[in-house]
Structure 1
Amino acid sequence: MSLNINVIKDKILSENWFVLRNMTYELTRSDGSVVRHKREVYDRGNGATIMLYNRRKQSVVLVRQFRVATWVNGNEDGMLIETCAGLLDNDEPEVCVRKEAIEETGFEVGEVRKLFELYMSPGGVTELIHFFIAEYSDAQRANDGGGVDDEEIDVLELPFSQALEMVANGEIRDGKAVILLQYLQTSGLMTRDI
């Protein structure tokens, strides 16, 4: 299916932290009909996320931090359990996840494996997230983690089975974490002999 897109208006509403645009555009469909849309698009750059797992201990490392958008949307304390993640900020995705892993979790990971790239909210957000996994060991702990100066991040090393239960009961509601936990479960990585 091929669409012809004609931008009528592209106005920047805010460049406070990221770029919020108001766009009016016309789509010419394959049948020749033209449809006009007016949308706001939030350009926050692309990001990367990583799930640290340990097959021997049957554990994963997640982080918990305050996320204002979840609080605004009814998450009572605003705290969210999620995977270690960050914006690329001109870094390559693998460089980003290595940097974020040490800053947020305290683990200096070895080999990382890229799984896929996904849009998490394509109706209005431009961000493409690169998903990675890496095995970790206690010997790779370089510091306590917890984030950089303006962050307050709790590091959670959880049994894999408990993390899956937390998805089922709604304690883990971060899409990145759910996707990567389910990947570990369906791939058999956490059930193979060591």
Structure 2
Amino acid sequence: MEDVKDVYISPLPDSPYVKPFRLNYTQNGKKKNWDLLEVHDSVAIIVFNVTRRRMIFVKQFRPAIYFNSIQPDDRHKPIDTEKYPASLGIALEMCAGIIDKKLSIEEIAKEEVLEECGYDVRLEDLHKITSYRSGVGVQGSLQTFFYCEVTDDMKTEQGGGVDDEIIEVVEMTIPQIEQMINSPGPICSPPSCLFALMWFLHYKADKYRK
């Protein structure tokens, strides 16, 4: 996962995932504009193993986090990966995925749990909690948040993603989650993950504390 090299920055060609554009509008009589990104909506799933009382996370290299760890003066040349090791871009997240198939959001969530975490959950095991807007400064895409409980018997695959994804499955106890939430940071997890953990600690954790 951390074997990253030959890093450099180039212009963005046409992309199936990110489409930059400018929105022009008039607000209170004043002409304005705002630069935005069109991206896919997504799902995110809290996966809690009730057999061993462990939260299931995924860890992966996130280029956006890595890029923002590089000093601006060093971005215009090949990146020195000794000065900026790949570990700077490793994020701990909930299982998640973009909505880019003609499936229901529950079916996409089920698929992501199997591919990333290795658990074969039923559609009825997935409980929709809420939906919210992410990246409201530049994208405002909709993410739908699910919760599911799994057992060791439901682990049918290794997990770790598909195609060229490099994902590590990570487990944490409830005390470890609380320690993470109370960390002074910076925490290399998206706000949606921290929101999900706070939701879990508020609504579910007491049932599984030892």
Please give the TM-score of this superposition, normalised by the length of structure 2. Answer: 0.77
In 1, distance between residues paired with 2:112 and 2:14?
24
What's 2:179 paired with? 165
1 or 2, which has the higher helix percentage?
A: 2
What's 1:39 paired with? 34
Structure 2 contact 50–149 (Cα < 8 Å) conserved: yes
In 1, distance between residues paired with 2:207 and 2:164?
39
In 2, distance between residues paired with 1:161 and 1:38?
46
In 1, distance between residues paired with 2:119 and 2:32?
46
SS at match of 2:88: coil
Which 4+ stretches in 1 moved above 4 angstroms? none
In 1, distance between residues paired with 2:176 and 2:193?
13
Residue correspondence of structure 1 range 143-162 to structure 2 within 5 A: 143-162=157-176
What's 1:21 paired with? 21
Between the two proteins, the alignment pairs up a number of residues equal to: 176
Structure 1 contact 20–43 (Cα < 8 Å) conserved: yes
Closer, same or farther: CA 193–177 of 1 in aligned 2, 3 Å: closer
Closer, same or farther: CA 118–92 of 1 in aligned 2, 3 Å: same
Residue 104 (structure 2) pairs with residue 88 (structure 1): no
Of 48, 52, 63, the match for 1:53: 48
Highest relative contact order (Cα 8 Å, sep 6+), 1 or 2?
2
In 2, distance between residues paired with 1:100 and 1:149?
13
Closer, same or farther: CA 89–185 of 1 in aligned 2, 3 Å: same
Letter in 2 for 1:64: K
Kindly provide the CA deviation profile for residues 25-84 of structure 1, in whole angstroms up to 9, marking residues without a partner as x.
112xxxxx3122211111111000001113453310000000000011118521000001
In 2, distance between residues paired with 1:160 and 1:35?
51
Of 105, 111, 115, the match for 1:99: 111
SS at match of 2:207: coil
- Identity of paired residues, percent? 24
Please give the TM-score of this superposition, normalised by the length of structure 1. Answer: 0.83
State the superposition RMSD in angstroms. Answer: 2.0
Query: Shift of the alpha carbon at 1:163?
Result: 2.0
Structure 1 contact 53–135 (Cα < 8 Å) conserved: yes
Query: Shift of the alpha carbon at 1:14?
Result: 6.3
1 or 2, which has the higher strand percentage?
A: 1
What's 2:136 paired with? 122
In 1, distance between residues paired with 2:129 and 2:90?
27
In 2, distance between residues paired with 1:52 and 1:141?
12
Structure 2, unaligned runs of 5 or more = 1-11, 71-86
